[in-house]
Each structure stands twice: as C-alpha cells, then as structure tokens.
A and B are shown apart, each in its own frame.
Chain A
Amino acid sequence: NAGVTQTPKFQVLKTGQSMTLQCAQDMNHEYMSWYRQDPGMGLRLIHYSVGAGITDQGEVPNGYNVSRSTTEDFPLRLLSAAPSQTSVYFCASSYRGRNIQYFGAGTRLSVL
C-alpha cells in the first residue's frame, strides 16, 4: 500500500517557468489537499478537493492551479514560477467524514 505519493521530491525552477507537482493516493480517499510549508509559518492550505471534479481555494491559492479528474490524482500547477513560491509542498488525503489526514513525503521547490 503506497499511501500518498508525491513527485518529484526536489525541483529547481527559473522564474517564469511552469511545472506540475504530482500527487497520487491509492486509498480511495475523497478529500485531497495541497499545503505549503515556510519557515516560521507552519503549513498553509493552497487548494483542496472534496471529490473528483470539485476543487476550492485555501488560504494561499494565488499562483497555483489545480484540477481533479480522478479520485486518485490531484496535481498542483505553477503557471509562472516566482521566487516567493520557493517552499516545501505537501499533499494530503483523507476519507470524507473522517478526520485523519495522510501526508505525502513532500516536494522541496526552489525558484531562482
């Protein structure tokens, strides 16, 4: 059972480049979320989804795009990377109505 899988683990981008952070879960969880972790600020919610075809914004959505075409996958897209998006990104998933969230191993992103 793989749980929540994030790829890549590390990425370096130049300002203005685009890329997609991948997140996949094999637990048939309805809820999926993306968080970013910055020093001194804990984790903050970027976008979340309560099921396939349904997404919504979190606390810090600007500069990011998401879609959820399947239950298993929830990719996060950076349309035009900025240095302010240098961070560690976590994907998480959970069952609807349950409260334990399972986290991926994270992606460390640097934007130069």
Chain B
Amino acid sequence: AQTVTQSQPEMSVQEAETVTLSCTYDTSESDYYLFWYKQPPSRQMILVIRQEAYKQQNATENRFSVNFQKAAKSFSLKISDSQLGDAAMYFCAYLEYGNKLVFGAGTILRVKS
C-alpha cells in the first residue's frame, strides 16, 4: 500500500518570508497524482495544488509551488511571501486508483507577524 510521510509536525514562518513543507511518499506506480490540501481552523479541506507524476514541470499556483522529485519520491510545497491567512494545517496526499486519497499526518504552519 502507498504511504505518505510528512516529517515536520510543525513549522513557523515570518510574514512575507518563504517556507517549504516536506513530503515523501512510497509507491510502485509510475503514473499517479499528488496533492497539497490546506485545512484552516474552519476545518474545511481546501485544495492548494496538484501534480501529475508524468509531467516533468513543477506545478505552480500563485504563491504556492512544488518541488516534485519523482526518483526521490519527494513532493515539497513552497509558500512564498507568506501571509497570516496561510496559517493552517497542510496535508500532502497521494491519489490511489479508484480516486482514493492517502494522506500524510499533516504539518501545522504558523505565520508570525
């Protein structure tokens, strides 16, 4: 079974600075999807960014970008120009066949003003 590991239970960043959240995964598949979800205190799960494994180019969504290293099975999230509204729990997730998500344990991001 696929596994997803987020090794940073908690991270802090100064407002306007850049922070990188780490994620590694284990799979024997060659074609798959990876996601980062944000969960603010409201509890709502918000899709931040997704990456298709067969695409070499790293995905970018405004201030959010990923560093996808397929051979190393690494999928880190970089948040640039951090804002107070970025404070949340962030989950890395792998999409299994059948549209089933496997989540990491999450990283709490705190943003300091």
* Interface of A toward B, CB cutoff 8 Å: 31, 33, 35, 40-45, 48, 50, 56, 58, 88, 90, 92, 94, 96, 98-101, 103, 105-106, 108
A103 to B104, CA, bound (A): 17
- Please provide the chain B residues from 82 to 113 with a CB less than 8 Å away from any CB of chain A in the complex: 91, 93, 95, 98-106
Give chain B's interface residue range (CB within 8 Å of chain A).
Answer: 20 to 34
The reply to whether A99 and B33 form a contact with Cβ atoms under 8 Å apart is: yes
Q: Given A90-B45, A106-B43, A101 and B101 touching (CB < 8 A)?
A: yes
Tell me the nearest residue of chain B to A95, going by C-beta: B99
User: Which chain A residues border B102 with CB–CB below 8 Å?
Assistant: 45
Q: Given A43-B91, A88-B43, A58 and B100 touching (CB < 8 A)?
A: yes
The reply to whether B44 and A45 form a contact with Cβ atoms under 8 Å apart is: no
Interface centre among B50, B95, B100 (most CB of A within 10 A): B100
The reply to whether B98 and A48 form a contact with Cβ atoms under 8 Å apart is: yes
Residue among A40, A100, A108 making CB contact with B50, cutoff 8 Å: A100
User: Which chain A residues border B9 with CB–CB below 8 Å?
Assistant: 40
A92 to B43, CA, bound (A): 14
User: Which chain B residues border A88 with CB–CB below 8 Å?
Assistant: 43
Tell me the nearest residue of chain B to A38, going by C-beta: B105
Cβ contacts B21-59/A at 8 Å (1 or 0 each):
000000000000100000000111101001000000000
A82 to B53, CA, bound (A): 40
User: Which chain A residues border B98 with CB–CB below 8 Å?
Assistant: 31, 48, 50, 56
Tell me the nearest residue of chain A to B44, going by C-beta: A105
Q: Given A90-B45, A99-B50, A106-B43, A44 and B103 touching (CB < 8 A)?
A: yes
Q: Given A99-B50, A100-B47, A105-B44, A45 and B100 touching (CB < 8 A)?
A: yes
User: Which chain A residues border B33 with CB–CB below 8 Å?
Assistant: 99
User: Which chain B residues border A56 with CB–CB below 8 Å?
Assistant: 98
Tell me the nearest residue of chain A to B99, going by C-beta: A31
